Structure 1
Amino acid sequence: MRSLNKPLALLGFFVVFISTIFCPFLKVPLQANWNLYQVDTALFMITNGILGLCVLLFFMRKLSGFRIAALALIAWIILSFILVYFQINNYVGFKFLDGLLSKTLNIKWGWAVLLAGAVMILFSVGKGKKVGE
């Protein structure tokens, strides 16, 4: 039997959703900081789609599916961070230009906030106590 910490899950939903819009994910020279939508619209849509699936399973009280969706959200965030990192470092294909580009584009702290919100969602589901313990 699983139990659900509803305030922690709701806080995690809020943190993930707000961080994709307002937190800086990439610093681009001459254009300031970019949020996740400006970095890549597909990453933004897929991240919010998985978050929407988590919210749906939360309200349907399907805790095992909710936990799997939370794990998928964390895996997607880690994968998208790795993809953005490699995209920055291998964009042109020439070593000199890629090195120059990777020095000008900087990954910002929004990734950590996004991952922290997803971890809060994951840890909101725990093992419940058995009756009689």
Structure 2
Amino acid sequence: MPRWVVVLLVAMGALVVLVPAGGVAAYIYASGRNHEDMRFPSDDVTVAGCALDPATGRPVAELSVTSRAAREGAYTVTVEFQDEREKAVDRGVGTVEGLAVGATGRTEAVGARAYAGGVPRCVVHDAEFRSVEPVATAGP
């Protein structure tokens, strides 16, 4: 077999292996760059307190929400109440309406039933942000 055919076959084999690998590497790099400044509404929420309501025995989470969104909006936060083994035993929802950019609001999330297992753990399970300002549109 001529030497140039061997070189051509080796070069083609290298392309078959390197092009897909290079494509995957480029995709991973671009994907990371596109999402490096991504934020999630749950990043804006802090559990400020977790206790039992003395009257009802239901778990109560005190939540602090500091908006880092680009527009004014409302946060809906779902809190999971867990036992000492970190097993979910209940959930509650708290809402902060009309929170301006950079402002801090407070709310409570209360469980649906009394908790008899000591002191619960309060963990942010989910947070949603809904803008109350329309997205700017281009002029005529």
TM-score between the two structures when normalised by the length of structure 2:
0.23
Q: Determine which structure has more spread, i.e. the larger CA radius of gyration.
A: 2
TM-score between the two structures when normalised by the length of structure 1:
0.24
Q: Which has the higher strand share?
A: 2
Greater relative contact order (Cα < 8 A, sep 6+): 1
